[in-house]
A and B are shown apart, each in its own frame.
Chain A
Amino acid sequence: MKHPSKTLVVAGFALLVGATACNNENITNVNRNPNAPTSAPAGAVFTQAAANAVGRYLGTGVLDLRGTEWTSQQLSEVQYPDEDRYARLQASSTTGTFNAAYTAELENLKKVVAQGQSAGQPGVWGPAAVMQTWAFGYMTDVWGDIPFTAALTGDSVGGSLTPAYDAQKDIYTSFFKTLSAVSSALASDPSTDPGLGSADPIYGGSISSWEKFANSLHLRDAMRIVNVDPATASAEIKAALSAPGGVFASNADNATFAWPGDGVFNNPWANNFSTRDDHRMSQTLMNIMLGLNDPRIPIYAQPTVADPTKYAGMPNGLDASTAGTYFNTASRPGAIFYPGATAYGFYGGAGKTYPSNIMTYAEVAFTQAEAAERGLGGLTASQAPGFYNAGITASMNQWGVTDPVAIATYLAQPAVAYQGGAAGLTQIATQKWLALYSDGTNAWAEWRRTCVPSTVKAGPAAIINYVPRRFEYSTTELSTNAANVNAAIARQGPDNFGSRMYWDTKPTAAPTYVNATACAGS
């Protein structure tokens, strides 16, 4: 060989390449993902899922600020009022929210439940199951029959890629079971259970608080089916009230979500208001409050620009140019929701950290008042005034009205003072609806169930002549899970705004039901 060294170099290189090129067994190690793990701590998954859920059901999307605040008529739209006319509440606009609810918080909460259950830790799975039930409650109350039993199993062996839609009746039955199970599991939580601890942004891992929340939610869900199945409602109300831990007894028990307000996680209303000036108080809400001299008005709303001594609402569902005329003559939502500097001026200041109300004692008190007046769940009518007054007082306190004189003056008004009977039930429903401000979907559900307030009517430029009873199904579901969606439609009624929830199918059973036109569906 003339140039052995160079030959050696070439050959050596050939062997090097050959050797690595033939080592094909371990090549898959290169595919080990350095970016993301295949499992994650339950607490970290819970925190993210809770933030997603609260952001969605008490946030800026179609399930609150850009949707159900119009169908509940607590707010109106002053610029580009498409949503207020229900034009952008059709399937194409609501599909994203429906889809994301399942793939974000609902799936992740299921993972936390699974992880907690396999570790025998009710302090982990219990809160996740409560949050999931709370979230599923909004979903079924907006869409009716939805996938529940077979849902969220896409990645499990034998899981369904086309989940069947459960009847809403069955979903509510499952809610009751789940919440009873959580309540009793938490009551006997083993001392070895580390729980969620600080990863729980709602109660900081307090087991007794979650017991109360589970039972309070049980109470809400039980009352929702009262028109269609009063016997079950009564039994479940009793179960909720007698479950270990009991229900909320004061505002200290409230399930609230404290937003850090750090720019990344802000109160969603404040986030929206920092760049959009589309929202005004609805005349429907404002006129009731003005009629009752409600001390919460300066908190719920801001004075009008045109007259700073005045509070005013604007009608819902106007056409764009008419709506625009209310720009300066209708009240913006309360300064508490505003972040300070916005794209259109300085309003409020602390809105970014304003906590979202997941569920409050005021709602629990009003539900108990209604149960008492109707003699459900072992309560009696004589207990109704107490719960009613407690609910109003709690709501006042919760929103920052603490002056006992102002509250007493309010309570003493003839229109507010509890009257009992059907009139009392209307008072309870009105006060509950007022208290549910900023929880649009829940307020909308209460109106559908009670027909209170009866002044909720579709606006003049609305694309339908009634207030929606539900939203339309996800277009993604219609294309990927058609058979099951169509089965639900066949069962429930046409996939439009007019078909009614299972719990809304006997409206006349509501003692507060006014008349067909006042609460008309399609």
Chain B
Amino acid sequence: MRSLLRTLLTATAGLALCAASASAQGAARITGRVTSDNGAPLPLASVSIPSLGIGAYTDDGGLYSIQVPGARVPSGSVAVTVRRVGYSPKTVQVTLAAGGSVEQDFVLTTLPNVLSGVVVTALGVQMEKSQLGTAQQQVSSGVLNSTHDANVVNELAGKVAGVTITGSGTQGGSSNITIRGSNSIGGNNTPLFIVDGVPVSTADRGGSVNGAYDFGSAINDLNPDDIASVTVLKGPNAAALYGSRAANGVILITTKTGSASGGKVNTSYTSSYSFDTPSITPTFQNLYGQGAGGQFSFVDGQGGGIQDGNDQSFGPRLDGRIIDQFTCPTGCPWVAHPNNVSSFFQTGGTFDNNLSFSGGTDRASARVSVGTDDSKGYIPNNSFQKFSAALSGQLQVSSRLSTSASLNYINNQALNRPGTGYNVGILEGLYVWFGRQVDMNALRHEFYQPNGSLYNWNYNYHNNPFWIQYDNPEHDVRNRMIGNVSATYKLTDWLDVTARTGSDIYNYNQSQEWAGGNLNFADPAYSGAFAFQQTGWNENNSEVLATLRKTMNSHLAVNVIAGANRRFSQYNYTSQSTAGISVPWIYNVSNAAITPTLNQNIQNLQVNSAYGSASFTWDDWWTVEGTARNDWSSTLPRGHNSYFYPSVNTSLVLTNMIPSLKSSFLSYFKLRGSVAQVGADASPYQLATTYSGSSAKFSGLPLYSISSTISNPTLKPEITQSGEAGVELGLFDDRASLDMSYYRKATRNQIINLTLAPTTGFANKSINAGKIVNAGFEAQLNVTPIQTNNFQWNATFNYSTNANKVVSLYPGLTTIVLNSSWYQNVEARVGQPYGTLFGYTFLRDSATHKLITLNGLPQIGPRKVLGNVNPLWIGSWNNEFKYKRWTLSGLLDYHVGGSIFSVTNMFGQYTGVLASTIKGREVDWNKPGVVVQGIDGNTGQPNTVNRTAEDYYQSLFAINEAFIYSATYLKLRELRLGYDLTPNQAHRFWAQSVNIAFVGRNLLASKKIPNVDPEFAYASSTAGLGMEFANLPNTLSWGFNVRIVP
């Protein structure tokens, strides 16, 4: 099979060399504009002459142009059909004349039915949806950008069935995205993103529950306003042509382009401003201040006074008594500052502007755009700025040769990215430790005492939060270019060859500066500390692709593609850090007082691929397609680095096959099915165990030590086998459409970093073993319950459920720990779903399941499975109401099930800051106390021992079970109220059309977990799941949006 494929490829290349071109003399032309029933131009509509097999797509302005070669101009009229997703197709008879030109405009009416029309599939090939045997879903620019978010992944939330998205807390943070569940234990579960045929980096520099900055994912760079459409290939079946990158599905992004406009310039300007605040904050108690045992008196904030080194809030009652405090060392009233934490937040703002120009002639077109995104965070001195510019152009060099190129430049800059977890997270000190009597305003402006030393409420464990934001900044800048150049040569009417090369190149610089006295990062003997990191990335893909489309006879149409690709990527990382600098405020390697730690990591990877597909469509109702890809990977062992990935799919449109099935109830009925096998590569350099050097020298002596991971010279790629079946129904005269899929996929040969017995001398060994199975169901329902001349109501439901199970790992191995923090593991455990929460339980009586207490306190019991991170099902409900020129739309996003281990709640109870810790000290700090309902472990009798609230809440620490919560939530994700000005009104603004809208994101949330947002992602990888610690909550934003077409 492989050699057959290679022969086919060679033959294709040969054809490219010797093909002759035909003449274009005496051609006939049809041009025109496609608009929707509300007058808006419709880009990406397919305009075709089915009898001739010729067609084109409309541009941004809805314009199209079709050229019919003179030799093929038919006598008499010919049918011209226009199709577009979401609209009723329309056919018009047109009479052509050789050498002549005809103008034909189309107005399409909106349809909720999204089952027909042209869609983008793997490798960017466009296809009739009816012929598709796999599941994919397309999101248009308008739906994507309904309300503005700078992060394209956040914008997809709730819009595609089967896609799980966990939004970032704040601008620039990470979002987690998976399609149909997690496949890989140790590897990546993020889909492949492809922009205009070029794979782009989704590199994750996320945070961790243990403390790190969340630098976001590289995919956040894309400017959503430059995107024409997003197509989600849901899993291995639809994505099979991507071979070793197909396991997690593919997200194909098509950017906007220019098109023939008769030389006229189409201009578009959009602007939006939103006000941003945290959506969810904890509820604190305000009865007791800092201290322990009901006592507190400040001397040095380090233990020199009475409990003044103590940073908990089990101190004296906040009743106005006079106590020495950091703001008043000789005493002042001891009162609560109920808003001390909330006053740390401010109203942030995001200002977003996009300007684009496009246009062209019949032979050349171009689009140029610039976009800016300027966010001020809801925490002090936090900002995020993005500037992007895009240029794309097409040139029809001759009737046979067409070329195109696109270039995106992106610059983004962040100041004080959200830190996550212990020590780094800015909210960690505020949410779980901040003494309830602490005056936030005292810390806001005074960072230093008159003697120059730092000013704070506690000097043992905490930094002044404002001082952190202003004098200990984190900066980062990424400069990025994504571009491609392609040429297509039409060998004959039914065969063309495309060559394309494209790269995603960026460099990314981060700096973290810590001023002298920073308790977490700076050695107290020096004047500060720093950590710098630089990342360089370049992935190039060069491809040749031959496409054959031929109608063999009146019944059979054949579509064959064959291609080859060479992928090469280079990653270059360097870092410099030190815990001590000499001169304050100079964060430069030359100012390091301690020899800086230097790191360098280079990773090169190459994958060569050959692939092809052939599809056969019989009479417009039955399509069978087979695809095949072979990858040769540099990261696999010599001689064993070639892997073959096949797939087969079919679609059957029953309403076309048996026209009598059609009725006013059932307008469309399609069945589809597919099986596929795809893979996931190994990372570079996993084949040989190496020694790691150290940039630090021991008194000048070099240092080396052997890697703690045993490499595997016989590594194989992970293999995913997937089957899916689907039904697509058009109902009630196409007023409703239903698209349902069932799938089952199994991933084996998992590349696992097996945890070894450490007494082997090694911590891990890289192996291929284990199997994960995902099975699920997804459905998408579009309904137009009301459609009148002036009023239309469209509703869209997305539903998906995925059952995930770790079937096997390695013989004798029952679990792999994916992430661990505060005695809580997130694991891949045999027989359980991927992402099982495993931690310490309450000690219970085995017969009655009552708690066993000792001296009145609950005890830590054995570790058990406490839940898992996967939702039972997720759903969304989008409603759009159109009344004349008004449009109101709202998106509800619902996640049901799944568990979270909340460290915020655990520490918040340990420290007594949360409102829930008042129980037991309603009367006084130690009264009435807490009598735990349980059985005394010594006597076997019901517990009667009364303990203080302080003892009780602190005894819960490390009992993970007490802090596992349901992740269920319902969010009003998007709300938009828009108005299209009438042409007359628009003219007053010197514009053709103007749309103004009120927009809001995350406006309302209903949830089960107390005090924190159940939706959090501090990394786009697995590490970001299941455990929460004082993450920045999702941004609640509302504002205005203006779109002007001058």
Q: A residues touching B (Cβ–Cβ < 8 Å)?
A: 1-3, 6-7, 9-11, 13-18, 20-25, 27-31, 33-41, 43-45, 47-49, 51-52, 78-79, 92, 98-100, 102-104, 106-108, 110-111, 146-147, 151-155, 159-163, 198-199, 201, 258, 260, 262-265, 274-275, 277, 320-321, 324, 327-328, 339-344, 474, 476-477, 479-481, 484
Contacts and interface: CB of A to CB of B under 8 A. Distances in A.
B400 A342 contact: no
B293 interface: yes
5 tightest Cβ-Cβ pairs between the two chains A and B: A263-B594, A154-B760, A107-B761, A99-B758, A481-B757
A14 B303 contact: no
Contact of B292 (A44, A320, A340): A320
Interface residues of B, number: 101
A476 B755 contact: yes
Given A24-B641, A35-B602, A37-B691, A262 B544 contact: no
Contacts of B759: 102, 146-147, 151-152, 163, 477, 481
Contacts of B565: 17, 21
Contacts of B634: 27-31
B298 interface: no
B633 A27 contact: yes
A14 B488 CA distance: 11
B401 A6 contact: yes
Contact of A11 (B17, B519, B579, B693): B17
Contacts of B761: 102-103, 106-107, 110, 151-155
Contacts of A10: 16, 401, 487, 489, 497, 499
Given A147-B759, A163-B757, A274-B525, A22 B6 contact: yes
Interface of B: 6, 9-10, 13, 16-17, 19-21, 292-293, 302-304, 307, 309-310, 397-398, 400-401, 459-460, 487, 489, 497, 499, 501, 519, 523-526, 542-544, 564-566, 568, 578-580, 593-595, 597, 600-602, 604-606, 608-610, 632-638, 641-642, 684-685, 687-694, 696, 698-699, 701-708, 710, 755-763, 765, 813-815, 823
A499 to B, nearest CB: 19
A111 B706 contact: yes
B823 A107 contact: no
A29 B303 CA distance: 60
Nearest to A14: B544
A98 B759 CA distance: 9
A29 B633 CA distance: 11
Contacts of B762: 103, 107, 154-155
Given A45-B705, A154-B765, 19 more contacts: A3-B400, A17-B542, A22-B610, A28-B637, A33-B684, A33-B688, A40-B693, A44-B702, A47-B698, A48-B705, A92-B823, A147-B759, A153-B761, A155-B760, A162-B757, A201-B698, A264-B594, A342-B524, A479-B755
Contacts of B687: 31
Contacts of A25: 638
Contacts of A265: 696, 698-699
B606 A2 contact: no
A493 B637 CA distance: 47
**Counting chain B CB atoms within 10 Å of each CB, which of A100, A264, A277 scores highest?**
A264
A178 to B, nearest CB: 17
Given A13-B499, A38-B688, A264 B696 contact: yes
Contact of A264 (B519, B595, B641, B642): B595
Nearest to B520: A275
A498 B9 CA distance: 73
B705 A108 contact: yes
A18 B689 contact: no
Contacts of A15: 13
A486 to B, nearest CB: 13
A265 B813 CA distance: 38
A3 B710 CA distance: 57
Nearest to A200: B701
A347 B566 CA distance: 62
Contacts of A35: 600-602, 685, 690
Contacts of A31: 604-605, 634-635, 684-685, 687
Given A7-B489, A9-B487, A27-B632, A260 B699 contact: yes
A13, A98, A159 — most chain B CB neighbours (10 Å): A13
A321 B608 contact: no
Given A152-B759, A152-B760, A38 B689 contact: yes
Contacts of B606: 27, 30
Given A17-B564, A27-B641, A30-B606, A36 B16 contact: no
Q: Which of A27, A102, A108, A479 has the most CB of B within 10 A?
A: A27
Contacts of B710: 154-155
A100 B705 CA distance: 13
14 contacts: A1-B21, A2-B400, A11-B17, A27-B608, A31-B605, A34-B602, A38-B689, A47-B702, A153-B761, A199-B701, A263-B523, A265-B696, A321-B307, A344-B459
Contacts of B604: 30-31, 34
Nearest to B701: A47
Most buried by A among B19, B601, B705, B762: B705
Contact of B705 (A23, A104, A320): A104
Contacts of A480: 755-758, 813
B763 A17 contact: no
Nearest to B17: A11
Contacts of B9: 18
Contacts of B310: 324
B605 A341 contact: no
B581 to A, nearest CB: 10
A324 B635 contact: no
A275 B302 CA distance: 12
Contacts of B636: 28
Contacts of B293: 321
Contact of A1 (B20, B499, B568, B757): B20
A68 B576 CA distance: 35
B87 to A, nearest CB: 36
A349 to B, nearest CB: 10
A277 B710 CA distance: 40
Contacts of A45: 691, 704-706
A154 B710 CA distance: 8
Contacts of A36: 690-693, 707
Nearest to B516: A341
Contact of A479 (B459, B595, B698, B815): B815
Contacts of A111: 706
B519 to A, nearest CB: 6
Contacts of A146: 759
B584 to A, nearest CB: 14
B489 to A, nearest CB: 5
Given A3-B398, A51-B703, A275-B524, A262 B594 contact: yes
B458 to A, nearest CB: 12
Nearest to B691: A40
Nearest to B541: A17
Contacts of B814: 479
B290 to A, nearest CB: 14
Contacts of A27: 606, 608, 632-634, 641
B705 A49 contact: yes
Given A47-B701, A263-B523, A328-B304, A3 B608 contact: no
Contact of B525 (A21, A52, A108, A341): A341
Contacts of B688: 33, 38
A380 B169 CA distance: 76
B608 A260 contact: no
A263 B608 contact: no
A24 B642 CA distance: 9
Nearest to B759: A147
A2 B489 CA distance: 12
Given A275-B519, A343-B519, A14 B499 contact: yes
Contacts of A3: 21, 397-398, 400-401
